[in-house]
Amino acid sequence: MASEGIRFPNESPEYRSARQALLDSEIQLRRQIEEVAARRRALPLGGRVREDYVFEEGGRDLDDLETRREVRLSELFAPGKDTLILYSYMFSPAMSQPCTSCTSILDGLDGEAPHVTQRVNLAVVAKSPVERIRAVARERGWRNLRLLSSAGNSYNTDYGAENPKGSQLPALNVFVRRPDGIYHFYNTELLYAPPDPGQNSRHVDLIWPLWNLFDYTPEGRGTDWYPRLSYPPAG
């Protein structure tokens, strides 16, 4: 049982009792989240990466849509940082616009990227040509995400970010560098598991603050609202 010492102005005994029961559940959830995280950290190495994938990347200036260079998977590991997080952005040449949900995630990750990259490597991969990806980044105001095109390799299909029909999937993969090569460590496989009724896969909720904020509210997430690329002016 959690501490019952806190109170807020004018709350009823019924509220405090219900809130206390919820707090006990939140404590159990916190413990379960850490238990799952510990089991994730304890995973053995996955398969050794069979190919040093070649991606395409642009220059530092997002206004420069012409500069391109090739970068290998192994080159995404900075000195002293042996973990790489790769998020697959749903944006293929066949799509007229990028996935709105992925874009919402990356809006947040762009701000967090300078913090994340103090400890690990981080990059975003999409199937579209690199200049198309960077045009979106410029429109969104992203300045911190490392953006890569997988148009010329099989990374998406190999690591669960594209199905046999060519549809894109928002997979997050983690790779680790070891003395004898690069290994796959983790994929958000909850993406491929059947969701519970009335829910989506929730495989990357831990990096997506939007829904977590809504979970704090009486309205909750709802069932018929999803992020958009733009909204009408307030008021």
Segment 96-148, tens digit of pLDDT:
999 999 999 999 999 999 999 999 999 999 999 999 999 999 999 999 999 99
Query: Does the predicted model carry a pTM greater than 0.85?
Result: yes
- CA angle 121/142/87 to nearest 5° reads 40
Angular region, 230: left φ>0, alpha ψ -120 to 50, beta rest = beta
Predicted pLDDT at 102:
97
Predicted pLDDT at 63:
76
Predicted pLDDT at 147:
97
Predicted pLDDT at 5:
77
- The helix/strand/coil state of 29 is helix
**Mean pLDDT rounded to a whole number for the chain:** 94
Largest CA distance in the chain: 65
pLDDT tens across the length of the chain (235 residues): 555 579 999 999 999 999 999 999 999 999 999 999 999 999 999 999 999 999 999 987 887 777 889 999 999 999 999 999 999 999 999 999 999 999 999 999 999 999 999 999 999 999 999 999 999 999 999 999 999 999 999 999 999 999 999 999 999 999 999 999 999 999 999 999 999 988 889 999 999 999 999 999 999 998 888 999 999 987 6
C-alpha Rg value of the chain to the nearest Å: 21
Residues 6+ apart with CB under 8 A from 65: 58, 131, 134, 135
- Please tell me the chain's helix, strand, coil percentages from 3-state DSSP, rounded to the nearest 5: 35, 20, 50
For each of the domains in the chain, give its residue range(s) and CATH number, in order of start.
54-189 (3.40.30.10)
Report the residue count for the chain. Answer: 235
Predicted pLDDT at 235:
64
Residues 6+ apart with CB under 8 A from 115: none
Predicted pLDDT at 3:
53
The phi and psi torsions of 31 (rounded to 5 degrees) equal -65, -40
